[in-house]
Chain A
């Protein structure tokens, strides 16, 4: 068991810096998911922890030991790769047992361990096959088994599910969580799929352009995104963004066309007159009878999602989506009133995109 400390870690390729001073502390036994778009540096960060990339600056320690200059296998990490990276000429059993073979474990012990690990991931009947004869899900299990058998202190996953089809992905997600609950190894899981991140993580790390935007529990990140970026990245369907100005007098944000969205009074008072980006989740918006709404927008089209329907509206030049479990029969071009729940309104500064809260207002306003 081991914790991971990442301190001011940077990575450059030549003159291009791709990771800009990242700090991260992963507690023993924690399941951390690093989430971000492709090219945000999340895989690079993971590979630096694994020892597959050198660290340009900063320090990484695992279980209190600085590992910057240690070989990958000396760090006590096991890794599951996106393309499985199974040895094509070895059988499933040989693949799983290879690390033990390299470590020089006697054959009898090795086979016993392979058998027990294979059983735990449901591979017993495939031990004599080659990776080429397995399905994607089975290959993924082999890759997992290969990592598990080393009894690693740290488990690293580099987008392990992105080559699987949607159904299998959910299934493997559950499996990974189940295995984690069993072996309790500290895990770092990199993905660009927010559903994986939200469901797997104890804590979620959202990265963008080589910096960490926010670290928090999935719930925390969903309800209190720290920036416009995080707000827009997390949540499906994606959050609506509108710009406006805060008015303390009306306890509201004034949008174009005199539309208003109510916000908590304390927030409004502290940020009176500030230009803001307002974020509204489609599921936090409701369609109401004309006159009772805060925004009036014209209906564009709707998408069926099953339990609810996603209605798209035009407001000025922007699109507003509303997720509603109720059935509305709307015609294209029909005006509709939309209401937001005041406690589900997210405010961000127009300049930096950082979240506006009632607490740090004082700090932010001092320089001005």
Chain B
């Protein structure tokens, strides 16, 4: 029940306003800091009004951090993660919801467990796999004795190797293989009435036809929601790109941003260039904001998931 009394109305608005200030204040301070020269930024008491150096600082940050190139890299990775995630989770959920087979529950639980083991937790084994994507297969072959057998018989040593370090594949793939999207799709697919499936069967549509002609058009809203979340998620990735990439041409933008933020030890007693760092932050945050604002309508509908 939603209760409406004047007192409650005022109280809720006060809470909402406080939350808004709490969220927006740091953002405001970033803008303020990004629009002053270094002297003004570090002056005491601090300036609380924006200055006139914003454009100059933005340009400085753009050049210093090679943000143009980082933008391209990050955009490719974010799009890759987004697309991969949508395709993978759609197909997985399709298999889990619309087909009956013995492995259904084990697979479901295996996917579920990945929810509790995010990339950060399993980062070391993931790195090992990224260094050689065939490592799990190699291990299986070694353990089963096949490697030894083949070498004894033919003298050929089986050595499978596929290095994903310093590549887009290495950046994208580990971020794609997680469960969130699968769950979103699964919940949506479960709301599809059984009769719709049967009608498609009677009309002669096979499973893939049904997926393409019926399920995907119906889940457009969910796709939009998932795309938004995944784009922002991938854009903000820091730890994994930091580890897997040493070649700077593959560096992602969050990693670069951390380099803009001055470390005191590195500056050798110089005053850190906070104004440049903040200007860089503004640039880096722009694409996620644009995506969210643009997709907001779909995004909300997709998550609350009501039928029309």
Residues of A within 8 A of B (CB): 50-52, 71-73, 77-79, 81-83, 85-89, 98-99, 102-103, 132, 146, 150
Is B201's CB under 8 angstroms from A87's CB?
no
Question: Which among B143-151, B161-169, B190-198 touches the partner chain?
Answer: B190-198
Question: Does any Cβ of A come within 8 Å of B217's Cβ?
Answer: yes
CB<8 Å pairs between A and B, sample of 10: A79-B202, A83-B193, A85-B198, A87-B200, A87-B214, A88-B307, A99-B203, A99-B204, A103-B204, A132-B308
Query: Quick check: is B173 within 8 A (CB to CB) of the other chain?
Result: no
Most A C-beta atoms less than 10 A away, residue of B195, B196, B203:
B203
The 5 nearest A-B residue pairs measured at CB:
A73-B204, A85-B195, A85-B199, A99-B203, A89-B217
With both beta carbons as reference points, the residue of chain A lying nearest to B201 in the complex is identified as A72
Chain B residues lying within 8 Å of A99, measured Cβ to Cβ, are: 202-204
With the chains together, A99 CA to B199 CA distance in Å?
10
Does A102 lie within 8 Å of B195, measured CB to CB? no
Task: Classify the secondary structure of B's interface with A.
Answer: helix
Of A73, A83, A132, which is within 8 A of B202 by CB?
Answer: A73
Chain A residues lying within 8 Å of B297, measured Cβ to Cβ, are: none
| Contact partners of A50 in chain B: CB under 8 A | 198, 202
In the complex, how many angstroms separate the beta carbon of B26 from the nearest chain A beta carbon? 42
State whether A52 touches B198 (Cβ < 8 A). yes
Q: Is the C-beta of B263 less than 8 angstroms from some C-beta in chain A?
A: no
CB B195 to nearest CB in A, in angstroms, measures 4
B residues neighboring A (CB under 8 Å): 193, 195-196, 198-205, 209, 213-214, 217-218, 307-308
The answer to whether B201 touches A98 (Cβ under 8 A) is no
B200 cross-chain contacts in A, Cβ below 8 A: 87
Q: Which residue in chain B gives the minimum CB-CB distance to A84?
A: B195
Would A77 and B202 be within 8 Å (CB), given that A82-B195, A85-B193 are in contact? yes
Minimum CB–CB distance from B199 to chain A (whole Å) comes to 4
Cα A83 to Cα B307 in complex, Å, equals 15
A326 to B83 alpha-carbon distance, docked (Å) = 77
Among B195, B198, B202, which residue has the most Cβ atoms of chain A within 10 A? B202
Contacts of B214 in A (CB 8 A): 87, 89
**Separation of A87 and B214 alpha carbons in the complex (Å):** 7
- Once bound together, how far apart are the Cα atoms of A329 and B281, in whole Å? 92
The residues of A that contact B203 with a CB separation of less than 8 Å are 73, 98-99, 102, 146, 150
Residues of chain A within 8 A (CB-CB) of B218 are 88-89
Inter-chain contacts of B199 with A (CB < 8 A) = 79, 81, 85-87, 146
Chain A residue contacts of B193, Cβ below 8 A? 83, 85
Nearest-neighbor residue (CB-CB) of B205 within chain A? A102
A52 to B205, CA, bound (A): 13
The 8 Å CB contact of A83, one of B195, B204, B308, is B195
Residues of B within 8 A of A73 (CB): 201-204
B201: chain A residues at CB < 8 Å are 51-52, 71-73
> Residues of B contacting A150 with CB < 8 Å?
203
Q: Specify the chain B residue showing the minimal Cβ separation from A77.
A: B202
B98 to chain A, nearest CB (A): 14
A87-B214, A88-B308, A89-B217 in contact; A102/B204 too (CB < 8 A)?
A: yes
A146 to B202 Cα, complex, angstroms: 10
Known contacts A87-B214, A98-B213; A78 and B204 CB within 8 A of each other: no
Q: Closest Cβ of chain B: how far from A308's Cβ, in Å?
A: 40
Least Cβ–Cβ distance between B148 and chain A, in angstroms: 47
* Given A87-B214, A89-B217: A102 touches B202 (CB 8 Å cut-off): no
Of the listed residues A51, A102, A146, the one surrounded by the most CB atoms of chain B closer than 10 A to its CB is A102
Chain B residue numbers with a CB within 8 Å of A71 are 201
A87: B residues at CB distance < 8 A: 196, 199-200, 213-214
- Contact in complex: A72, B202 (CB < 8 Å): yes
B211 to chain A, nearest CB (A): 13
Residue of B nearest to A74 (CB): B204
Complex: A122 Cα to B200 Cα, angstroms: 24
B218 to chain A, nearest CB (A): 6
CA–CA, A119 to B294, complex, Å?
Answer: 43
Report the minimal beta-carbon distance from B244 to chain A, rounded to whole angstroms.
Answer: 40
Q: Nearest B residue to A81 by beta-carbon distance?
A: B195
A102 touches B198 (CB 8 A): no
Q: Report the Cα distance A9→B196, complex, angstroms.
A: 26
A21 CB to closest chain B CB (Å) equals 25
Residue on A nearest B195 in the bound complex, by CB: A85
From residue A78, how far is it (CB to closest CB) to chain B in Å?
6
- Do the beta carbons of A81 and B217 come within 8 Å of each other? no
**Shortest beta-carbon distance from B225 to chain A in Å:** 17
A87 to B198, CA, bound (A): 11
C-alpha gap A99/B202 in the complex (Å): 8
CA of A333 to CA of B198, assembled, Å: 56
**Chain B residues, CB < 8 A from A77:** 202
Report the separation of the CA atoms of residues A98 and B201 in the bound assembly, to the nearest whole angstrom. 11
**Besides the known contacts A99-B204, A102-B209, 11 further A-B residue pairs in the complex with CB atoms under 8 A apart:** A50-B198, A72-B198, A72-B201, A72-B202, A73-B201, A73-B203, A73-B204, A79-B202, A81-B195, A89-B217, A102-B205
CB distance from B127 to the nearest CB of A (A): 43
A72 to B198, CA, bound (A): 9
List the A side residues contacting B213 at CB < 8 Å.
87, 98, 102
State in angstroms the CA–CA spacing of A150 and B200 once bound together: 13
Complex Cα distance, B214 from A52, in Å, reads 19
Distance to closest chain A CB from B305 (angstroms)? 14
Q: Measured between alpha carbons, how far is A50 from B201 in the docked complex, in Å?
A: 10
Task: Give the most central of A82, A98, A132: most B CB within 10 Å.
Answer: A98
Which B residue's beta carbon lies closest to that of A143?
B199
Instruction: Give B220 Cβ to nearest chain A Cβ, in Å.
Output: 8
Q: Which residues of A contact B202 (CB under 8 A)?
A: 50, 52, 72-73, 77-79, 99
